[in-house]
Amino acid sequence: MATDCDFLVIGAGVAGLRAAIELAKAGSVLVIAKDSLRESSSEYAQGGIAVALSDDDEVALHEQDTLYAGDGLCNQTAVHTLVEERARRIFRI
Ligand SMILES: Cc1cc2nc3c(=O)[nH]c(=O)nc-3n(C[C@H](O)[C@H](O)[C@H](O)COP(=O)(O)OP(=O)(O)OC[C@H]3O[C@@H](n4cnc5c(N)ncnc54)[C@H](O)[C@@H]3O)c2cc1C
């Protein structure tokens, strides 16, 4: 296994892979994970994304829904940022 790289990304979920895609523009990237590369929450995600994509939808509703599903564990500021920025970012590969 090659271990020389410009960037080391720890974690092969959606966050790590997104970072790897961006970093690949600037150099070689090595992605590592603690188990198999496919063993992550991203692999188990059921496909629903809290985002307001149409004019008859509202960011605030997705924010409330996410906080409700989080059952008090969510960072409210992080949830707000996530739900608000998703519409702009969802179509990026
Ligand atoms: C059953 C299930 C259903 C879900 N459904 C949805 C959904 O419908 N919609 C939605 O938006 N979200 C959903 N989620 C949440 C979503 O999957 C996560 O928010 C998202 O995948 C997190 O991505 P991540 O890259 O931060 O973490 P992960 O995908 O968990 O990736 C973490 C990575 O880090 C690696 N890692 C961890 N510890 C170490 C270590 N010590 N050393 C090296 N590597 C390590 C892991 O191996 C893994 O590769 C769901 C989650 C689960 C579990």
The per-residue pLDDT for 31 is 96
Q: How far is CA 67 from the centre of its chain?
A: 17
Task: Indicate the domain borders of the chain.
Answer: 1-47, 48-93
Choice from 40, 73, 79 to test ligand 1 binding pocket (greatest atom count within 8 A of CB): 40
Q: What is the mean pLDDT of each run of 10 residues along the chain (93 residues)?
A: 88 95 97 92 84 90 94 96 87 68
pTM of the shown model: 0.82
Count of beta carbons in the 10 Å neighbourhood of residue 27 = 9
CA angle (49 as vertex; 42, 90 as ends), nearest 5: 90
Distance between Cα 41 and ligand 1 center (Å): 3
Kindly list the protein residues whose Cβ atom lies closer than 6 A to any atom of ligand 1: 10-16, 32-35, 39-42, 44-49
Inter-residue contact 12 to 33 (CB < 8 Å): yes
Q: How far apart are CA 90 and CA 93, in angstroms?
A: 8
**Nearest in space to 80 (alpha carbons), one of 91, 65, 92:** 65
